Chains A and B, each alone.
Chain A
Amino acid sequence: MSISLPTYSRLEIPLLGRRERVWAIIATGLRREFRRPAAIVVIAIGVAFTTITSIVLVLFASFLLPGQPLNLSFFALPASNGFVLFFVSLMAAIIGSGLIADDLHSMAFTLYLSRPITHLDYLLAKAVILAPLVSMITVLPLVITALVAAFLFPLVFSWGVALQAIGLSVAVGLLLALFNTSVALFLSSLTRRKGLAAAGMFGGNFGLFIPASILASAIGNPNLLYLSPWNDYLAVASAAFGAPGIGIDWPGALAILLGVTVLAALVTYLRMKSVEVITG
């Protein structure tokens, strides 16, 4: 017995606005990511690893770095934890690379576009799916470390310093998260094969970081560090926490980070507008 359409009443309720439609994409997208085993594993290990190493830095800091003043600048250490770079790349590669590439591969992009939303809505939703996941690596560990430090060493780190550290960690962490989200979505929009986008993420992050750091130290000309986004982030983070810089001034580094973030987002938007799913 199948209900034939005529007896199945027309829908008279008004449709919700574009904000709710975008939110639907975000909510469903996040739920789908958390059901993917690979994503859960990467997030869990990433957060755990980064947090533990940061806390170890805090505990043994006084032995490891004699003379390191135990004030706000101390929190620059967890922010520059090498594992953050590794896991951010891994996260963007495993989760970010498929966000748009999969829609192009399965041609579901046509379905999204046939709904009453714009290209901008689609991209915004995808960014808001990836950004919180990436910031679980760039923000969460720093915040936890600050809390642990204030809790374990109330004498050394007053709550005032800890709160200030948390605020700065969130700001700096978000900056790195936005940068990686924008670049990951840009790479994801370029190809149908998400494997290539993932390889590009790894190639880009490490391909720039390794030579920049070796070169700068080898020839004593720090300006090359600007080329590596990770070093730009370190410059901004250390300046934010008042720690000694790494040889390049933070306004320039910040400008590069924000510039690349905005540029990548713009190019992704133009690329998505021009995607003609020609089926003939």
Chain B
Amino acid sequence: MDWTGSFRKAWVVTALTLRYLLTTRRAIATVLLALVPLILTLSLAAARVATFDVMLFQQLMIPLFLQVVLIFVTLVNATALIREEIDDNTLPFLLTRPISKPALVAYKYIGYLVAVLVVLIPPIVVAYGVTEAYGGLAFTTDLDVLGGFLATTILGSATYGALFLFISVLVRRPLAVGLLIGFVWESVVDSIPGDVPKVSVIHYLKTILKDVIAIAINPLGQYRTDVSAGVAAGVLVTVSIALVILAAFVFQQMEFRQKAG
């Protein structure tokens, strides 16, 4: 296993994925949606809204950013990694290169993660900055809020990405399945009693926010959870890695036959 060779291949696949996800028409849609939180905070500041503070910022960003923007961006990008290349018949060009299928999945996943975070993180950080500046506070006053959102964005992107990648390797039409899981299941699951919410990503994201952010300004103060932030983060990381490995394994066994004819 020569390290320089595989590092070079990793870099090439990651760069190829990044370039595809960030420079084609798909990027316009995802970037626009990722900017919505920033536009919202700017319009609030411009409208001189009295009650606009970090509390309202969180009340807005949790349902909008975590449950709509994050899911939409991760879904549209994760399904493009393998399934779209299969549909576009461009996969044979990669598969006839001296690079193993699992490695291809791993490198593409890294490219996805970088692309998604590049799209998601800057707007949310600036939005936070605008909120603090509007309140006349220093950028560092509520670092726990910023930290909480950065952690959930990174872990959310990783886990949702791994989940949608795994689905896209299993199912011929992953976007439809992803929509149902992302928009329907993840938003309904919290209102179900008992341990059912544990089978959703959003539960662990909210747990992290609940523990990380100071109780005084925490809209999720009373969020029903019996796990600590650390454990939640651990769960998300292990689930992400497990799903990527599963996706790689399924991809390894997959056969690519050309349409009959």
Contact = CB atoms under 8 A, between A and B. Distances in A.
Direct touch of chains A and B (CB < 8 A): yes
B44 interface: yes
B56 interface: yes
Interface in B46-99: 47, 49-52, 56, 59-60, 63-64, 67-69, 72, 75-76, 79, 84, 87
Interface in A172-217: 191, 193, 195-196, 198-200, 202-203, 206-207, 210-211, 214-215
B63 A214 contact: yes
Given A196-B29, A202-B183, A210 B49 contact: no
Nearest to B175: A195
A191 B28 CA distance: 12
Interface stretch (A218-226, A250-258, A271-279): A218-226
Interface in A119-174: none
Q: Which 6 A-B pairs have the closest CB atoms?
A: A195-B175, A219-B49, A203-B72, A211-B64, A207-B68, A210-B63
Given A199-B72, A206-B68, A207-B33, A218 B183 contact: no
A107 B179 CA distance: 26
Interface in A33-86: none
A93 interface: yes
B140 to A, nearest CB: 25
Given A215-B44, A219-B50, 12 more contacts: A191-B25, A193-B84, A195-B79, A195-B174, A196-B26, A198-B176, A199-B178, A200-B29, A202-B72, A203-B33, A207-B33, A219-B56
B40 interface: yes
Contacts of A220: 51
Interface string B178-194: 11000100000000000
Interface of B: 25-26, 29, 33, 36, 40, 44, 47, 49-52, 56, 59-60, 63-64, 67-69, 72, 75-76, 79, 84, 87, 173-176, 178-179, 183
Nearest to B64: A211
B51 A214 contact: no
**Chain A, interface SS category:** helix
Interface residues of A, number: 21
Given A196-B26, A199-B76, A215 B60 contact: yes
11 contacts: A193-B175, A196-B175, A199-B179, A202-B183, A206-B183, A210-B63, A211-B40, A211-B63, A214-B60, A214-B64, A215-B40
A82 to B, nearest CB: 13
Contacts of B176: 94, 195, 198
A200 B56 CA distance: 26
A207 B47 contact: no
A107 B65 CA distance: 36
Nearest to B84: A193
B64 A93 contact: no
A195 B84 CA distance: 11
